Amino acid sequence: MRFVRLSTLCLLLVLCVPQAEAEYADVVLNRTAEAAGVRPVIYPHWFHRMRFRCKVCHSELGFVMRAGANKIDMAGIMEGKFCGMCHNGEIAWNVEHCDRCHSGLPGLKSGIRGGDSAGGPGYW
């Protein structure tokens, strides 16, 4: 009984928490990826946010703080923009590791995934 009540409470909490908890969640980026024949990108926001301050990305590197607001493209990344500002083989592993970023299951919609849990690459 206690278990049932607890799980109902958990479910309610999950349903009531607003979606925009990107601080802890993953961001799915599928504006162009799947249409171009690669898997959607899972950006593990929480994983990065543990390592860098918000202002590094949202002020110094210029990422707009809204899911889908940055028009990220692969050519830009390869030229060292967007994710490529760090995924360049110096600060983090380089762009040759396609699957580490393009890890989402086909059909995933862009947006925030996971609320207060972070699945990370390959989870969704």
Can you tell me which of 24, 52, 123, 124 binds ligand HEC, judged by CB under 6 A?
A: 52
Q: 3-13 burial string, b = 16+ CB within 10 Å, else e?
A: eeeeeeeeeee
Long-range contacts of 7-13 (CB under 8 A, 24+ apart): none
| Using rule CB under 6 A, residue 118 touches ligand HEC | no
Report the nearest approach of ligand HEC to the CB of residue 11 (Å). Answer: 22
| Using rule CB under 6 A, residue 108 touches ligand HEC | no
Helix then strand count (H, E) for the chain reads: 5, 3
Give 1 or 52: the residue with its C-beta nearer to ligand HEC: 52
Can you tell me which of 11, 58, 89, 116 binds ligand HEC, judged by CB under 6 A?
A: 58
